[in-house]
Structures are given as structure tokens and as C-alpha cells.
């Protein structure tokens, strides 16, 4: 009985140590980090592509990969072979900021690092 109880406690501890990451970037987002009066929308698609538009015009696009709280992004402005790596800090399911881990593209660092976005719900634009 003691061995069974000990084994059960070990299994329970192992299960609790494997935490899943429930936050996803997939969806339609807005940034308030731009110039006053500008409308910056970011779409992260489930197929691993993203698009940034400013006042209705495509500003940048590329691909991304989310691995738990890490974002890897490849975009047209910095070259699709150059990865930017950022930590995702979700404040809520609908609000996230980006923190630089590693990126060789100064333009992307300036645009992404420290930026925040909020998820838009259906009907919001």
C-alpha cells in the first residue's frame, strides 16, 4: 500500500509539472503604439502568417511561429530568412506585449520590442 501511495504521489507531481500554455496569438489585434491618429492592425493567422496594416495599407507581412511564450517572426521588411525572437507577456487572453530575446534587425526591434497589442472581438474595427 505504501508503494502504491508513493507511486501515485510521484505521478501526480509529474502531471502537475507539465503545464500547458493556453495563450494564442492567432486572431485580429490592434496596436495603440503608433503615431496619434494612426490605426495599426495586426492579423496572426492560424496558418502561421501575419500581416500588419497601418490605416488600411499593408505595412509588413511574413510568417511566425509561437512556441509557448516565445514568438519567432520572419517578415518582408527584415528578410524572410532573418528571425526575430521575442518573449510574449500576456496580461490577459486579449492583451500581450513583446520583449526582445534576440533579433539582428534593428527596424523590427524598434517596431516590436516593448509594443503591446489588444485582441479585437467580432464587430470591433
State pLDDT tens for residues 94-124: 999 999 999 999 999 999 999 999 999 876 6
- The H-or-E segment that residue 2 falls in is helix 2-17
Reduced to 3 states (helix: H, G, I; strand: E, B; else coil), residue 46 is: coil
Q: What topology does CATH give the domain 22-119?
A: Lipocalin (2.40.128)
Task: Give residue 14's pLDDT.
Answer: 44
CA nearest 52: which of 64, 40, 63, 39?
40
CB-CB contact of 96 with 89 (8 Å) = yes
Task: Give residue 80's pLDDT.
Answer: 84
Q: Which parts of the chain register pLDDT below 50?
A: 3-20
Q: What is the largest CA-CA distance in the chain?
A: 69
Stated pTM of the model: 0.78
Q: Where are the domains of the chain?
A: 22-119
CB-CB contact of 47 with 64 (8 Å) = no
Amino acid at each position: 500500500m505504501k508503494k502504491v501511495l508513493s507511486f501515485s504521489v510521484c505521478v501526480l507531481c509529474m502531471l502537475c509539472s507539465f503545464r500547458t500554455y493556453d495563450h494564442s496569438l492567432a486572431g485580429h489585434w490592434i496596436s495603440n503604439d503608433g503615431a496619434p491618429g494612426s490605426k495599426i492592425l495586426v492579423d496572426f493567422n492560424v496558418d502561421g502568417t501575419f500581416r500588419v496594416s497601418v490605416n488600411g495599407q499593408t505595412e509588413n507581412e511574413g510568417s511566425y511561429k509561437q512556441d509557448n511564450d516565445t514568438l519567432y517572426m520572419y517578415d518582408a521588411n527584415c528578410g524572410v530568412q532573418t528571425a526575430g525572437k521575442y518573449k510574449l507577456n500576456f496580461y490577459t487572453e486579449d492583451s500581450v506585449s513583446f520583449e526582445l530575446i534576440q533579433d539582428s534587425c534593428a527596424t523590427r526591434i524598434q517596431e516590436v520590442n516593448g509594443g503591446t497589442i489588444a485582441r479585437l472581438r467580432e464587430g470591433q474595427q
